[in-house]
Amino acid sequence: MKPTLTIRGFDVFRGYLDAAKQREIVGNLRSVIRTAPLFSPETRWGKKMSVQMTSAGKYGWFSDRRGYRYEEHHPNGGAWPPIPEAILRVWHEVSGLERAPDCCLLNLYRASAKMGMHQDRDEADFSWPVVSISLGDDGLFRIANEERGGKTESIWLQSGDVVVMGGKARLHHHGIDRIRSGTSTLLQNGGRINLTMRVVD
Ligand code: SIN
Ligand code: MN
């Protein structure tokens, strides 16, 4: 399958999920959140992140003053729920990989939330891609370079868009500058959900 566009090596599949699929996935995520409630982690500098997050899969991504890492348990001590089938299907379809991801990180952005520029580098092997699914309100996604600084390019990600961050672009810095509130009615209380699937081990 061909991406709609490639920007800085990130393959963007516009409108990959139709409205019915998006609703199915949001339904699945409700049960994920029931088992593994959303929390707002601290950065390693002790500042609360503006996104709320949780995970599904063998590992969940976690952050506190000790740093960024994957954990086998939710902060409440329970295991992370399994990654829903409909989400795994997207991973296999767009990546073409047989291997399943170990983690699906869920980030919830309410109106004023954002995500600073960062690299996804807490995984053991960067030859596996990261696959991202956007649901709900539009989010302004900024893509930079592997090294810090330099020119950047931005794109509004919309509900149903899928992005594959792999190959040479796997370690490119990226972040979310802002959310455009009220651009989608998919999520009951508004906002944006981003799912990223990763191979961790
Ligand atoms: C992330 O990089 O973890 C999130 C990206 C996004 O929200 O689209
Ligand atoms: Mn990231």
Instruction: Quote the domain boundaries for residue 165.
Output: 5-198
From 107, 155, 163, 195, the mutation candidate for ligand 1 (largest count of ligand atoms within 8 A of CB) is 107
pLDDT over threshold 90, residue 133: yes
Residues with a CB atom less than 6 Å from ligand 1? 107, 115, 132, 139, 141, 157, 174, 176, 194, 196
- DSSP-assigned states of every residue in 57-71: ES-EEEEETTEEEEE
Q: Model confidence over 168-183: pLDDT tens digits?
A: 999 999 999 999 999 9
Confidence of residue 12 (pLDDT cuts 50, 70, 90): very high
**Does the pTM of the predicted model rise above 0.95?**
yes
Instruction: Please give the pLDDT value at position 1.
Output: 82
Ligand 1, atom nearest to 134 Cα: 8
The mean per-residue pLDDT over the stretch 130-149 comes to 97
Confidence of residue 115 (pLDDT cuts 50, 70, 90): very high
* Rounded distance between C-alpha atoms, residue 67 and residue 115, angstroms: 16
- Split into its structural domains, the chain has a count of 1
Q: Model confidence over 28-83: pLDDT tens digits?
A: 999 999 999 999 999 888 899 999 999 999 999 999 999 999 999 999 999 999 99
Q: Model confidence over 189-198: pLDDT tens digits?
A: 999 999 999 9
CATH number of the domain bearing residue 139: 2.60.120.590
What residues contact residue 10 under an 8 Å CB cut-off, 6+ apart? 143, 163, 164, 165, 169, 172, 174
The mean per-residue pLDDT over the stretch 17-21 comes to 98
